[in-house]
Amino acid sequence: MPLQVRSVPADAPEVDALLDAYLDEREATFPSAQGSYSRKRTPAVEFTAPDGVFVVAYETDGDATVPVGCGGLRRIRTPQAVDDDVWFEVKHVYVSPDGRGRGVATAVMDALERAARDLGATSVVLDTNDSLVAAGAMYRSRGYQRVAAFNDNPNATAWYRLPVR
């Protein structure tokens, strides 16, 4: 099935459905040894140009277009960013079970990294949980390097950065 990644408003109905599924899945699979999962959505306004973007991946099958993945990008300010370093943070990357194993996450990340460059980023950062083994492997395969924590996300155990100059 053909895949298309489009920029959409972060409060679009398909975004709400994908993020609800993402939060439900993370809550259900969160490692109990780490406590309880904190269900937190980034406000939609933070994914608005020139300070961000939100993308949805759609698969087309005949006349049907089905949203199968998403991700957001927002500009952040952090003490770790020095001089003219402009950081954009990847948030809420999710692929529905039906979309997994078909390059959806790669297409979403490609779109987010391209948008980061277009918006003037010098670094793309993200946080994740080490229990998400496939996600961590994907980020490292894209060149992300593990860094010190740059936020206080209670769900995160790993932080990554990719210079994009």
Range of the domain at 119: 3-163
pLDDT along the chain (165 residues), means of 10: 94 97 96 93 95 96 91 87 84 96 96 97 96 96 96 96 91
Report phi then psi at 49, rounded to 5: -60, 145
Rg, C-alpha atoms of the chain = 15
DSSP state of 39: -
What is the tally of structural domains in the chain?
Answer: 1
The structure's pTM equals 0.94
Between CA 25 and CA 164 the distance in angstroms is: 31
Question: Which pLDDT does position 154 carry in this prediction?
Answer: 95
Handedness of CA 41, 21, 148, 101 (dihedral sign): negative
CB 112 within 8 A of CB 137: no
